[in-house]
Amino acid sequence: MCGRKTLSMSKRQIIEQLMVDEWQVEDYTPSYNIAPTQNSVVLVQERGYNIVRSMRWGLIPAWSKNELYGSKMINARIETVTAKPSFKNLIPKNRCIVLSDGYYEWKQSGGRKVPFFIQRKGGGLMFFAGLWTTWSMSSKRIFTYTILTTKAQKGISAIHDRMPVLFDKSKAEMWINLDNQFSEVERELTENKEVLNYYQVSDFVNKPNNNSVACIAPFKAPTKLNLFEDDQ
d(CA 62, CA 90): 11
Look over the chain and give the mean of its residue pLDDT values, rounded to a whole number.
Answer: 90
CB-CB contact of 70 with 132 (8 Å)? no
pLDDT of residue 226: 54
CB-CB contact of 30 with 11 (8 Å)? no
Query: Which residue of the set 105, 173, 188, 215 is catalytic?
Result: 105
Query: Which residue of the set 2, 96, 173, 188 is catalytic?
Result: 2
* Class of the CATH domain delimited by 5-216: alpha beta
Q: Which amino acid is at 27?
A: D
Q: Which amino acid is at 208?
A: P
Model confidence at 232, in pLDDT bands (50, 70, 90)? very low
Domain positions in the chain? 5-216
User: Chain-centre distance of CA 45, in angstroms?
Assistant: 18
How confident is the model over 142-199, as pLDDT tens digits?
999 999 999 998 889 999 999 999 998 888 999 999 998 888 887 777 676 778 999 9
Query: Which of 90-94, 151-155, 168-172, 218-222 is modeled with the greatest confidence?
Result: 90-94
pLDDT of residue 181: 86
Look up 2 and say whether it is catalytic. yes
Residue 83 CB coordination number (10 Å): 9
Kindly report the pTM of this predicted structure: 0.92
